[in-house]
Amino acid sequence: MDDNSILESISDGVFTVDREWKVTYLNRSAERIIGIDRADAIGRLCCEVFRSSLCEGACALRRTLERGKPVVDLACTIIDNRGRRIPVSISTAVLRDAAGNIVGGAETFRNLSDLEELKKEIAAPGRIGEFISRSPSMRKIFELLPAVSETGSTVLITGETGSGKDLLARTIHANSPRKDNPFVAINCGAFPESLLESELFGYKKGAFTGADRDKPGRFALAGKGTLFLDEIGEISPAMQVRLLRVLQERTFEPLGAVAPVRCEARILCATHRDLDAMMKAGSFRRDLFYRINVVCLELPPLRERREDIPFLTESFIRHFNSTMNRRVSGVSNSALKLLTAYDWPGNIRELENAVERSMVFCRDEMLDVEHLPPELTAETPQGGAGGGGMAGVVRASEEQAIRQALADSGGNRRRAAAALGIHPATFYRKLKALDLSVSLPDGRRKPASRF
């Protein structure tokens, strides 16, 4: 009775079914979320009571009973008795009898309606064109972007490799008066110096052996548009001198030319290097730095804008669904937690690579932990919530309820037990079972910082 009291007090809905998929138990929260009396639910097929978007063909509980493997934090929707769609997160486990035989399944579900509303309120993304972010760390960039886009000033974009500098440069161009003219990009670190010179400035026929025709460089191809010089920190001192002259005089000379050509393009630059340190070391010209650093936009790394990981992941899933002919509908909460917790040294580019790799191995409706690259799951506990059937599924919910009761009672365990409607002895036993008994205060001591 006391154990059932725990299940009756938690905020998550819990129900169990037998091998014929008939509901055998429904807790109070499940009644409230679904809008049904348990007397009307007991004995009915679970698909009639728990009308989920997964019921037709992708039932998580059926998958658990067939494979013996729990599902943890799978997002879906249910329809309550009023016909309203409710977003929930579900977890499942196998139920066994004392002899170890499978007698049914258990499922917990958490109402995410309040969370979804909160997301809509606080996560309205900043957006300019295709450049989107929900992170407060990006707010300054969004404040500056309109003014930066309107002008023709040279811009230096800094940030770690893979953080989106190219997309930011394209966004500046797309929202500028030059948007109907070309956007031309070149990675300065991808060419040796001799080739980089001809790629940037072009050459005239006969300038050297094999030059049998005129070749326009990137400055000429950009015309009155925008030229994006990516990884400008990689260019040699000699090329720095030539580029400085272009920026100062607004002219350039193709190889073999007898007259300078007017440069009408706007220049955007980007680098992942520390140009201040390079100037102090003498490897980057200070006068060139001042020319390219009229406006500086610093992109924070992905680990400082974790709010962007969920929608970036979803956008990559949509993209790879199209290119890989997949039908993945999203990512599980468990997998998303790992994606959000990872530090992403390769930033957005690494996240895209991880999602692509995951979808190669995903044959399910959702990307889950088992599909993620090993570097994300190396420290993930194995076995999920499967051990012990129902106890394994509801362990996390019990711990949450106990922690909340302790927090509400200021650490007084007797008041916490009373709030949960259970005997203090049972409450202490639960603390010990959940390994929450160490350093817990009683009603006569000052609450410990843990709670």
- How far CA 325 is from CA of 99, 259, 321, 354, 372, in Å, comes to 45, 54, 5, 17, 19
Find the mean pLDDT for residues 101-115: 82
* Ramachandran class of 83: left when φ > 0, alpha when ψ lies in -120 to 50, beta otherwise: left
pLDDT of amino acid 10 = 79
CATH architecture for segment(s) 136-299: 3-Layer(aba) Sandwich (3.40)
pTM of the full structure: 0.61
Would you place residue 118 in the very low, low, confident or very high pLDDT band (cuts 50, 70, 90)?
A: very low
By three-state DSSP, how is residue 108 classified? strand
- Residue 427 structure tokens: 């409450």
Q: For the CA atoms of 32, 36, 25, 52, what is the dihedral angle to 10 degrees?
A: -90
Nearest-angstrom CA–CA distance, 419 and 145: 52
pLDDT of amino acid 228 = 98
* Ramachandran class of 313: left when φ > 0, alpha when ψ lies in -120 to 50, beta otherwise: alpha
Would you place residue 426 in the very low, low, confident or very high pLDDT band (cuts 50, 70, 90)?
A: confident
With a cut of 70, say whether residue 450 has pLDDT above it: no
- Residue 14 structure tokens: 């819990």
pLDDT of amino acid 173 = 96
Cβ atoms of residues 198 and 255 within 8 Å: yes
pLDDT of amino acid 257 = 82
Would you place residue 443 in the very low, low, confident or very high pLDDT band (cuts 50, 70, 90)?
A: very low
140 vs 76 pLDDT, higher one: 140
67 vs 290 pLDDT, higher one: 290
Would you place residue 383 in the very low, low, confident or very high pLDDT band (cuts 50, 70, 90)?
A: very low
pLDDT of amino acid 442 = 45
With a cut of 60, say whether residue 400 has pLDDT above it: yes
DSSP states of 12-75: SEEEEEETT-BEEEE-HHHHHHHT--HHHHTTSBHHHHSEETTTTT--HHHHHHHH-----SEE
CATH architecture for segment(s) 307-368: Orthogonal Bundle (1.10)
Count Cβ atoms below 10 Å from residue 19 Cβ, excluding itself.
12
With a cut of 50, say whether residue 125 has pLDDT above it: yes
pLDDT of amino acid 372 = 92
With a cut of 80, say whether residue 403 has pLDDT above it: no
Residues in the chain, overall count:
451
Nearest-angstrom CA–CA distance, 282 and 56: 66
pLDDT of amino acid 287 = 95
Would you place residue 345 in the very low, low, confident or very high pLDDT band (cuts 50, 70, 90)?
A: very high
For the domain 2-117, what is the CATH code? Answer: 3.30.450.20
Q: What is the mean pLDDT of the chain?
A: 83
Among 33-37, 360-364, 419-423, name the one with the lowest average pLDDT: 419-423
pLDDT in tens, 202-227: 988 877 777 778 889 999 999 999 99
With a cut of 50, say whether residue 447 has pLDDT above it: no
Range 61-85 burial, b when 16+ CB lie within 10 A, else e: bbbbbeeebbbbbbbbebbbeeeee
Find the mean pLDDT for residues 425-441: 64
What residue ranges do the domains of the chain occupy?
2-117, 136-299, 307-368
pLDDT of amino acid 3 = 56
- Residue 156 structure tokens: 């230096």
Find the mean pLDDT for residues 384-402: 53
Nearest-angstrom CA–CA distance, 10 and 299: 43
pLDDT of amino acid 396 = 57
Cβ atoms of residues 282 and 234 within 8 Å: no
Residues 6+ apart with CB under 8 A from 154: 247, 266, 267, 268, 269, 291, 292, 293, 294, 295
Count Cβ atoms below 10 Å from residue 16 Cβ, excluding itself.
22
**High-pLDDT (> 70) share of the chain, %:** 86
Nearest-angstrom CA–CA distance, 354 and 304: 18
What angle separates helix 2-9 from helix 424-433, to the nearest 10 degrees?
80
Nearest-angstrom CA–CA distance, 416 and 382: 32
pLDDT of amino acid 255 = 85
Is the sign of the CA dihedral 224, 228, 233, 237 positive or negative? negative
Nearest-angstrom CA–CA distance, 133 and 125: 5
Would you place residue 117 in the very low, low, confident or very high pLDDT band (cuts 50, 70, 90)?
A: low
